[in-house]
Amino acid sequence: MAVLKVIEILSSSEKGWEDATQNAVKIAAKTVKEIRSVYVQDMSAVVKNNKIVEYRVNVKITFEVLN
């Protein structure tokens, strides 16, 4: 039986929500092994001068701690 843990990460990107999600996984992978999934919980954006300048995501990353 596997034991899984979920952590929540906030991430951002100037390119888009997909890139912000990829950044979150990349950052988590530096210290977390066996990442199983990522769930995008919330998305938002920062707007300046009627233009989106930053995309933000709040994600939940699931990883295995015991097998």
Domain that holds residue 10: 3-66
Put simply, whether the predicted model's pTM sits higher than 0.85 gets the answer yes
Segments of the chain scoring below 50 in pLDDT: none
Q: Can you tell me the distance from the alpha carbon of 60 to that of 24, in angstroms, rounded to the nearest whole number?
A: 9
- Residue 66 is predicted with a pLDDT of 79
Could you give the dihedral angle defined by the CA atoms of residues 18, 19, 25 and 28, in that order, rounded to the nearest 10 degrees? -140
- Residue 26 is predicted with a pLDDT of 97
Element holding 16 (H helix, E strand) = none
Q: How many residues does the chain have?
A: 67
Number of structural domains found in the chain: 1
Q: Check which CATH number belongs to the domain holding 34 and give it.
A: 3.30.1660.10
Q: Can you tell me the distance from the alpha carbon of 34 to that of 28, in angstroms, rounded to the nearest whole number?
A: 11
